[in-house]
Amino acid sequence: MSLQIAGALFSAIGQQRASRAEARRQAAIAQQQEQNKKFEQLRALQEHNARVGAYIAYQSTTNAVRAINRRGPNDRSIKALMKAGKTKSQEDLARSATQSLFTQSRMQFAADDARSAGATALQSGFFKTASSLAMMGYQMQQVTPTGD
């Protein structure tokens, strides 16, 4: 009978430790996903700055070409080039921002999911421990002689 009690206690302790270890593992995964999200935010900002810089360089080059060719600021072909460059730049910025937000959202979901899995592991460990102890009590009741 004392071996049953010891076995149930060891089982309960093991289940609790396993559930806490899983919760810590999931917390580490969540933390890594949060860090990845921050890196993605930084990458998106750097990409945005590079695209804005490229557009400014495009404008400067177009203005230099306009000046070299002695065309006025109201020249239709220069205006069309500037408009096309601006439209393309805006589309590229919007596409990049949307992709980055999507990626950040996926990373946040993964972090939240890992936290949820950690909480579930703790709950599961608690219920498994309670179940083991209840089963041990039931088994002890079955083998313990009654006073009848």
Task: Establish how many alpha carbons lie within 13 A of residue 125's alpha carbon, considering only the half-sphere containing its beta carbon.
Answer: 18
pTM, rounded to two decimals: 0.72
Q: What is the spatial distance between Cα 92 and Cα 98, in angstroms, rounded to a whole number? A: 10
User: For position 136, what pLDDT does the model report?
Assistant: 82
Q: What is the DSSP letter of 144?
A: S
User: For position 9, what pLDDT does the model report?
Assistant: 83
User: For position 70, what pLDDT does the model report?
Assistant: 85
Q: What is the spatial distance between Cα 68 and Cα 46, in angstroms, rounded to a whole number? A: 33
User: For position 84, what pLDDT does the model report?
Assistant: 92
User: For position 2, what pLDDT does the model report?
Assistant: 75
10-residue stretch averages of pLDDT, the chain, 148 residues long: 78 89 94 96 95 92 86 85 91 94 95 95 90 82 72
User: For position 141, what pLDDT does the model report?
Assistant: 80
Please answer whether residues 145 and 57 qualify as being in contact, where contact means their C-beta atoms are separated by less than 8 angstroms: no
User: For position 148, what pLDDT does the model report?
Assistant: 58
User: For position 26, what pLDDT does the model report?
Assistant: 94
User: For position 147, what pLDDT does the model report?
Assistant: 64
| Sign of the dihedral defined by the CA atoms of residues 28, 32, 37, 42, in that order | positive
